Amino acid sequence: MASVDYIIVGRDVGQARYHKVGGSYLEASTNPGGTPMDVIHIGRLIAGMSERVGSDRKASNDEIEQIKRCLTVETIPPNQFTLDQKEAILQKTSVEVLFEDRQLGAVQTDDTNTRYLVIPADGTIQTALDKLAMPSAGNAFEPPLTYPIDEKLMLGFLTNKVIEMVVNVEKPLNLDNMDWTGIKKHIADLLENRLDKISQDAKVDQLTAYHRAVGIYATNMCR
């Protein structure tokens, strides 16, 4: 079998394979209720663990098992492994939870902090970099390390701004001679030009955007 590039990531929202119901893990396809094992649950576990102090700052075996159930294998390009092959890789995947530390000094400037940056397995990042195809000049690109839920969140966040742009579209000079198709095209063209100008103001290339995303995930993920 030829070597396949793959990464191990948290299951996205709506992509859980298991639900935790009581002390059991049931197949999500059976709609068992309970808690979906996905990235939301990983975040919930991390948020709870972060508040532990002293000797309690450790993950239980049950919590580690929960995190494993939230993981999946993704190939690049997709669909190169069967479900059984993915499961075989996950069975041999270990999860280690490290707790960062802060030792308080007499004054805050004397505090001693430990930060852990997790470096992915070899090829994990470079494979994605190799696949980045720069778009043609003037065209926006899909932001790296984003998921469908990010698009929905941003659309919801920007709704009022988009409505404001639509309301403030300039009236065409020949409105009386335009049909509905022409009016829609007029609005679309003006919005496209305005949004393109906004995107150009903060334009970065795709490679820079990817490196920025990796840096944020590694150092600033809980802000």
CA gap 86, 72 in Å, rounded: 7
- Ranges of each domain in the chain: 5-121, 132-223
Residue type, 103: Q
Q: What are phi and psi of 169, to 5 degrees?
A: -65, 135
In this prediction, residue 222 carries a pLDDT of 65
**78 is written with which tokens?**
């997709």
Sorted by sequence, the CB contacts under 8 Å of residue 220 that are 6+ apart come out as none
**pLDDT per residue rounded down to tens, the chain (223 residues):** 568 888 899 999 999 999 999 999 999 999 999 999 999 999 999 999 999 999 999 999 999 999 999 999 998 888 999 999 999 999 999 999 999 999 999 999 999 999 999 888 877 788 778 777 666 555 677 888 888 888 899 999 999 999 999 999 999 999 999 999 999 999 999 999 888 888 777 777 888 888 888 888 888 766 5
Task: For CA atoms 143, 147, 151, 153, give the dihedral sign.
Answer: negative
Instruction: Provide the pLDDT for residue 148.
Output: 84
Give the model confidence (pLDDT) of 61-80 as tens digits. 999 999 999 999 998 888 99
**What pLDDT shows up at residue 208?**
86
Q: Which residues contact 5 (CB under 8 A, 6 or more apart)?
A: 75, 76, 123, 127
Query: Are the CB atoms for 124 and 6 separated by under 8 Å?
Result: no
What does the pLDDT read at residue 30? Answer: 96
pTM of the model: 0.81
Cβ(49)–Cβ(99) under 8 Å?
A: yes
The residue whose two tokens read 């993915």 is 86
What residues form DSSP beta bridges with 102?
113
Q: How far does CA 195 lie from the centroid of its chain?
A: 24
In the chain, the DSSP E strands lie at 5-10, 18-21, 24-27, 35-36, 71-76, 101-103, 112-114
Cα separation values, 30 from 12, 90, 114, 164, Å: 18, 22, 43, 44
The Cα angle at residue 193 between residues 189 and 199, in degrees rounded to 5: 140
Q: What is the pLDDT of residue 115?
A: 93
